[in-house]
């Protein structure tokens, strides 16, 4: 099984994006969603996800609140904030530029 | 910034955040579990699967914590707790490490305290760096009859002094002072007071305000208005330490014709006008009072010299000021020699350098020695830590496996070593306090100026462990903690986890330990060589024949409450000694103007009568001693030819003299001195003295100085008429010496009682046995030998412990290999040889390296050595042999253990 290590700094972008498109999610939901999108188990252990959530919350980009799941369990739901949306746009922009650059380099070097 | 604030808050709200996370992860787990159950797993399996999927909760928590708080603060607490637990589990290791560090840090802090107090801390005077003492080099052509040798004076000619203080721009201030010794009767007891007559600029220049009252007004320096005095703090205490002392009058007694009366008029009232604060003793430690004394030319035109202290003008160097002084002198005198024997006429030396210069090299040597001890301590601890960390590989691997990052592991290990260093530092500071007390004890002397400044340690009363020293200890602790902690931390923080968890024996044998031990042994060798040299030198010094027999001789001076004239003093001394002889235990008693090792030098040229011609031996002075007839007997100075002084000699009898062997050999070589005539006294007043005997040589001015030519005159035959211009009989009072079978205390009590019969207020002062005086004269060599000896002993012990540790560790690691060797037929002997060979190789390398270093370094000890050279082969060889023996002993135990390895047990162990 191939492991994809998440590039430093990109996890924040992925989480923000997921929250922006799917609405408020708990950590389990986020993890499940990421695995699903990645089509194969992304090596995303909780040790990576939780610090990212804390980081984003400290930045004021997401906000967590305790709610009930559909199965009536307690879970902390995270929602993207206005500042988070703005940050997402900026980060997405930067990502595209960076990805373009890396792609170009990789293609040229081949 | 916002994140940082959030983190700070996060650090503070640790517990709540942890609970929150716990809850969140529990929820996560529950959701996962639900998921697995939906996919059809049994409840228990679902839980397990969920847990697997969630991963290491502890690791997540750690990372989470890192993310939300200022990790270092938070970790520090946990690391410290963990480190404490770890250390408590290994009390033996902890004890050895902490003690090692405490010794290193303690010795360093103690010596730094001394260096700081003596060399670094400025003297307690305003802008003291600009205060200088003036030395003058005078060509022989300007001395005596114009044929004297070049001399170096600590004092200036008053005529030049006045010209300089008037004209100089390079000097902001000039002040002169002169020593005065007097007696004051306080509460019925005659009390000696040493003081200084000081010029008007003296107190303002130093900028120290009096504690009580005032210092002198300028007009008080003029004769007649000068009957005022300022007391030192300790002298004030003798007067009761009360402010009402101001205005009180005291009368000095003493010999107004002595050298050190400094114009004090006995028996007239002097008014106390002020008291200086505690610790103020400028210019010398013995200063008990000051009187105003303007430097003045002598009425008969003879040059008068005054010790001089000056304050440099802002930005002026001592050399520039000295050049200006020489220029002023030439200007005033028409012409003058500006260079004397390759040195400038004047030399200005900062007061602090002047004071501490003699001990500076030794203090720097001591500082280097403790530096080496600390280095060895660090190396030793690093070695112990390496060995221990290696044996903790499994623990470290486990911690790494459950999620500790390499950074965390390094931090943890560094925290442990800093904690060890901190504990060592605390204990070290306690040791430093003890060490400073020991230093002061070792450096303490009889504190008598008449025994010379060479034994008195400057600023000793100021030596203390102060804030600077504590800061130094802290810095040293942290530095050592980092130094010895970093190596093992970096080496082991990236463990090859998997390999280690599987098989510990796969770790490679350490060679770092070996090279560290070589360094350690080399450093210790350097110290041991230094200590060996100093100790050998001290032993030589203390066993050198002083030329007299110090045992059972008590010496003292008697202070009288009256002011007897010289001839009256002699009568007093005769009567006093006569009565002392009546004490049953007294074998002999004598008096004289000096004692051996008392630093009063009267070097007079010797004039011989050859036939009818008087021949003055140019440049050949001899030291004259005025003694009572029993002096040689009392001191145990042997007569090697002729006879000694006897009762039958004396006033009105033909003049006689006993010369010493050195004078006989120098001035009477090839002839028999006994029966020849030498002449005493200045031209026109010469008195012929017949040489009646030759006495043995006495080391008069220090055990380390070769005996000088001397002659002994019967004090009854010394002229006291001032017109004859003979040197004063008792410039600092008579010294008594008593040889007795009873102990010193009893004899002193008997002497005091006899003195009181003659003068109801008389007291004994400067009471000391001759053995004490001899011992006092070698205080510094003893202290240096003792301190460096202790440091070297510590270094040796640490190095041997280090070697033992490395050998024991390597034997423990090679148990299996040794087991195989034994199983294959190796003999016990072979195994022991194996271990001993390695140990001896390390030792030999260390000693060789150390000897090479020492050979380059011992020349810095040269000035501290007596009777041997810095490259003394015997000392070097002795140290090497001793070290080799100690090292063999240290490796014998591990070698024995290796030899007794049972192959069956060793092989089964894994």
Please answer yes or no on whether A47 and B60 come within 8 Å at the CB atom: yes
3-state secondary structure B441-480: HHHCCCCCHHHCCCCCCCCHHHCCCCHHHHHHHHHHHHHH
Cross-chain Cβ contact B60/A71 below 8 Å: no
Least confident of B51-65, B254-268, B310-324, B574-588: B51-65
Cβ contact B420:B97 at 8 Å: yes
**Yes or no, beta carbons of B27 and A32 under 8 Å apart:** no
Task: Dihedral sign for Cα B788, B793, B794, B795, please.
Answer: positive
Cβ neighbors of B586 (< 8 A, separation 6 or more) are B580, B738, B739, B740, B747, B750
pLDDT digits (tens, 9 = 90+) for B392-443: 777 777 777 776 777 777 788 888 888 999 999 999 999 999 999 999 999 9
In total, chain A counts a number of residues equal to: 110
pLDDT band at B99 (very low <50, low <70, confident <90, very high): very high
Nearest CB among B7, B21, B55 relative to A45 is that of B55
What does the pLDDT look like over B744-795, one tens digit per residue?
A: 999 999 999 999 999 999 999 999 999 999 999 999 899 999 999 999 999 9
Please, are residues A66 and A74 in contact by the beta-carbon 8 Å criterion?
yes
Predicted pLDDT of residue A1? 39
* pLDDT reading at B169 higher than 60: yes
pLDDT in tens, B220-262: 877 667 789 999 999 999 988 888 989 998 888 876 656 666 6
Q: Choose between A94 and B275: higher pLDDT.
A: B275
- Interchain proximity B68–A74, CB inside 8 Å: no
**Over 90: is that where the pLDDT of B174 sits?**
yes
Lowest-pLDDT range of B49-53, B209-213, B483-487, B831-835: B49-53
Whose CA is closest to A47, among B567, B530, B57, B53? B57
Q: Does B77 touch chain A (CB under 8 A)?
A: no
A51 vs B3: CB contact, 8 Å cut-off?
Answer: no
Interface contact flag, B31 A28, Cβ < 8 Å: yes
Token pair in block for residue B414: 């560094």
Do residues B713 and B689 touch, judged by C-beta distance below 8 A? yes
Q: Which of B11, B31, B39 to mutate to test the interface with A (most CBs of A within 10 A)?
A: B31
What gap in Å lies between CA B436 and CA B419, rounded to an integer?
Answer: 25
pLDDT band at B65 (very low <50, low <70, confident <90, very high): low
pLDDT tens figures, A4-39: 555 656 778 888 888 888 888 888 788 777 777 766
B5-16 CB burial, b ≥16 within 10 A, e <16: ebbeebbeeeee
Query: Backbone phi, then psi, for B575, in 5-degree steps?
Result: -65, -45
- Residue of chain B whose alpha carbon sits nearest to that of A53: B64
A-chain residues within 8 Å CB-CB of B59? 47
Considering only CB atoms, which chain A residues are within 8 Å of B10? Answer: 58
pLDDT of the residue at B505 = 43
- Work out the number of other CB atoms within 10 angstroms of the CB of residue B223: 11
Q: Compare CB distances from B55 to A46, A71, A76 and report the shortest one's residue.
A: A46
Cα–Cα dist B467/B112, whole Å:
12
Report the distance separating Cα B486 and Cα B103, nearest Å. Answer: 21
The tokens 């000696």 sit on which residue?
A: B192
Write out pLDDT tens, residues B580-635: 999 999 999 999 988 999 887 777 778 888 777 888 776 677 888 999 999 999 99
CB-CB: which of B34, B56, B68 is closest to A47?
Answer: B56
The runs of H, that is alpha helices, within B636-714 are: 661-667
CB B700 within 8 Å of CB B710: yes
Q: Which residues of B touch A50 (CB under 8 A)?
A: 21, 24-25, 60, 63-64, 67
- pLDDT at B718 (0 to 100): 87
Mean pLDDT of B510-525: 82
* pLDDT in the model for residue B470: 93
- pLDDT on residue B469: 93
Q: What is the pLDDT of residue B138?
A: 87
Question: In this complex, is the C-beta atom of B8 within 8 Å of any C-beta atom belonging to chain A?
Answer: no
> Hey, is B77 helix, strand or coil?
helix
Nearest Cα residue to B787 out of B430, B466, B374, B367: B367
Question: How close does chain B come to A97, measured CA to CA in Å?
Answer: 26
Q: Do B30 and A58 touch (CB under 8 A)?
A: no
Mean pLDDT of the residues in chain B = 85
**Cα–Cα distance for residue pair B545/B404, rounded to 1 Å:** 71
How far is it, in rounded angstroms, from Cα A69 to Cα A60?
24
CB-based contact (8 Å) between B402 and chain A? no
In angstroms, the CA B312 to CA B318 distance is 7
User: pLDDT-derived band of residue B55, with 50, 70 and 90 as boundaries?
Assistant: low
Cα B905 versus chain centre, distance: 56
Q: Is A55 within 8 Å of B67 when comparing Cβ atoms?
A: yes
Searching chain B, which residue's CA lies closest to the CA of residue A74? B27
Nearest residue of A to residue B61, measured between CA atoms: A47
Contacts of B14 in chain A (CB under 8 A): none
Query: Do residues B87 and B94 lie in contact, with contact meaning Cβ atoms separated by under 8 Å?
Result: yes
CA distance B67 to chain A (A): 6
Q: Answer whether B877 touches A (CB < 8 Å).
A: no
Q: Read off the pTM.
A: 0.77
Inter-chain residue contact A76 with B27, CB threshold 8 Å? yes
Amino acid B25: pLDDT: 76
Q: Please, which pLDDT band fits residue B349 given cuts at 50, 70 and 90?
A: very high
User: Measuring CA to CA, how many Å separate B396 from each of A57, B163, B498, B504, B615?
Assistant: 34, 80, 11, 12, 92
Q: How many CB pairs under 8 A join A and B?
A: 71
How many Å lie between the alpha carbon of B413 and the closest alpha carbon of chain A?
24
> Which candidate from A48, A50, A73 shows the least CB-CB separation from B30?
A73
B574 has a pLDDT exceeding 90 = yes
pLDDT value of residue B503: 44
CA distance B347 to B356: 17
Q: Which residues of B touch A69 (CB under 8 A)?
A: 31
Half-sphere exposure of B352 (CA within 13 A, CB side): 17
Position B506 scores a pLDDT of 39
């Amino acid at each position: 099984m191939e492991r994809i290590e998440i590039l430093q700094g990109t996890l924040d972008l992925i989480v923000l994006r997921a929250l922006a498109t799917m609405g408020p999610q708990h950590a389990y939901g986020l993890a499940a969603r990421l695995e699903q999108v990645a089509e194969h188990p992304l090596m995303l252990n909780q040790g990576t996800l939780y610090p990212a959530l804390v980081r984003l919350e400290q930045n004021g980009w997401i906000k967590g609140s305790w709610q009930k799941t559909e199965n009536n369990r307690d879970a902390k739901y995270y929602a993207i904030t206005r500042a988070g949306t703005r940050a997402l746009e900026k980060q997405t922009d930067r990502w595209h530029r960076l990805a373009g650059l890396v792609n170009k380099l990789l293609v040229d070097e081949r | 910034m916002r994140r940082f604030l959030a983190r700070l808050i996060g650090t503070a709200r640790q517990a709540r955040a942890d609970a929150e996370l716990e809850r969140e992860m529990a929820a996560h787990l529950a959701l996962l579990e639900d998921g697995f159950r939906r996919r059809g797993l049994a409840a228990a399996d679902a839980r397990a699967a969920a847990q697997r999927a969630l991963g290491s909760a502890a690791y997540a928590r750690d990372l989470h914590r890192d993310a939300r708080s200022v990790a270092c603060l938070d970790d520090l607490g946990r690391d410290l707790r963990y480190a404490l637990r770890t250390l408590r589990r290994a009390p033996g290791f902890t004890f050895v490490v902490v003690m090692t560090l405490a010794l290193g840090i303690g010795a360093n802090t103690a010596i730094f305290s001394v260096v700081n107090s003596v060399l670094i801390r400025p003297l307690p005077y305003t802008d003291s760096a600009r205060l200088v003492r003036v030395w003058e080099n005078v060509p022989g052509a300007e001395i005596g009859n114009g044929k004297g040798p070049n001399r170096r004076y600590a004092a200036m000619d008053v005529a030049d002094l006045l010209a300089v203080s008037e004209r100089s721009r390079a000097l902001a201030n000039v002040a002169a002072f002169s020593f005065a010794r007097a007696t004051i009767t306080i509460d019925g007891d005659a009390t000696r007071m040493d003081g200084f007559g000081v010029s008007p600029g003296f107190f303002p220049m130093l900028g120290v305000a009096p504690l009580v009252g005032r210092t002198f007004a300028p007009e008080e320096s003029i004769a007649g208005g000068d009957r005022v005095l300022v007391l030192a703090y300790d002298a004030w205490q003798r007067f009761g330490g009360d402010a009402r002392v101001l205005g009180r009058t005291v009368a000095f007694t003493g010999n107004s014709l002595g050298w050190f009366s400094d114009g004090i008029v006995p028996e007239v009232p002097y008014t106390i006008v002020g008291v200086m604060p505690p610790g103020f003793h400028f210019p010398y430690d013995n200063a008990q009072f000051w009187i105003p004394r303007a430097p003045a030319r002598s009425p008969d035109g003879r040059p008068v010299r005054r010790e001089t202290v000056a304050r440099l003008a802002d930005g002026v160097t001592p050399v520039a000021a000295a050049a200006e002084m020489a220029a002023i002198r030439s200007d005033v005198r028409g012409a003058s020699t500006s260079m004397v024997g390759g040195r400038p006429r004047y030399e200005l030396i900062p007061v602090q350098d002047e004071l501490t210069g003699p001990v500076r090299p030794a203090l720097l040597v001591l500082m280097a020695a403790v530096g080496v001890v600390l280095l060895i301590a660090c190396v030793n601890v690093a070695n112990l830590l390496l060995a221990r960390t290696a044996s903790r590989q499994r623990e470290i691997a486990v911690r790494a496996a459950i999620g500790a990052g390499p950074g965390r592991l390094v931090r943890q290990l560094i925290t442990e070593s800093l904690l060890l260093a901190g504990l060592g530092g605390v204990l070290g500071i306690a040791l430093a306090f003890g060490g400073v007390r020991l230093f002061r004890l070792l450096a303490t002397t009889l504190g008598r100026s008449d025994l010379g400044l060479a034994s008195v340690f400057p600023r000793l009363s100021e030596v203390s462990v102060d804030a600077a020293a504590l800061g130094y200890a802290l810095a040293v602790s942290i530095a050592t903690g980092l130094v010895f902690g970093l190596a093992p931390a970096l080496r082991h923080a990236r463990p090859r986890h998997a390999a280690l968890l599987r098989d510990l024996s796969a770790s490679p044998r350490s060679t770092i330990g070996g090279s560290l031990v070589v360094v350690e042994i080399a450093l210790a060798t350097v110290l041991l060589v230094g200590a060996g040299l100093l100790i050998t030198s001290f032993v030589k010094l203390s066993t050198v024949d002083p030329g007299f027999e110090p045992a059972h001789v008590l010496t003292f001076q008697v202070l009288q409450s009256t002011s007897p004239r010289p001839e009256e003093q002699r009568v007093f001394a005769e009567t006093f000694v006569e009565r002392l002889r009546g004490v049953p235990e007294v074998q002999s008693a004598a008096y004289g103007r000096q004692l051996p090792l008392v630093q009063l030098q009267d070097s007079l040229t010797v004039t011989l009568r050859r036939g009818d011609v008087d021949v003055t031996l140019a440049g050949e002075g001899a030291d004259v001693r005025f003694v009572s007839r029993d002096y040689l007997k009392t001191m145990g100075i042997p007569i090697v030819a002729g006879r000694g002084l006897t009762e039958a000699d004396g006033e009105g009898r033909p003049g006689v003299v006993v010369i010493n062997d050195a004078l006989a050999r120098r001035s009477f070589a090839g002839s028999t001195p006994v029966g020849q005539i030498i002449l005493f006294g200045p031209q026109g007043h010469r008195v012929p003295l017949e040489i009646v005997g030759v006495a043995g040589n006495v080391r008069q001015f220090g055990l380390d100085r070769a005996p000088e030519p001397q002659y002994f005159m019967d004090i009854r035959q010394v002229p006291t008429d001032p017109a004859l211009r003979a040197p004063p009989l008792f410039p600092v009072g008579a010294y008594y010496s008593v040889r007795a079978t009873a102990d010193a205390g009893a004899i002193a009590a008997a002497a005091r009682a006899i003195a009181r019969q003659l003068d109801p207020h008389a007291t004994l002062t400067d009471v000391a046995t001759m053995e004490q005086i001899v011992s006092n004269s070698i205080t510094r060599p003893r202290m240096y030998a003792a301190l460096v000896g202790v440091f070297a002993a510590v270094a040796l012990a640490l190095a041997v412990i280090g070697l033992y540790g490395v050998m024991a560790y390597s034997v423990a690691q090679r148990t299996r290999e040794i087991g195989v060797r034994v199983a294959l037929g190796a003999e016990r002997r072979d195994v022991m040889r194996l271990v001993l060979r390695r140990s001896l190789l390390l030792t030999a390398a260390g000693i060789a390296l150390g000897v090479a270093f020492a050979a380059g370094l011992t020349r810095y000890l040269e000035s501290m050595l007596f009777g041997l050279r810095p490259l003394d082969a015997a000392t070097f060889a002795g140290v090497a042999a001793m070290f080799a023996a100690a090292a063999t002993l240290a490796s014998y135990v591990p070698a024995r253990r290796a030899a007794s390895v049972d192959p069956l047990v060793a092989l089964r162990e894994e």
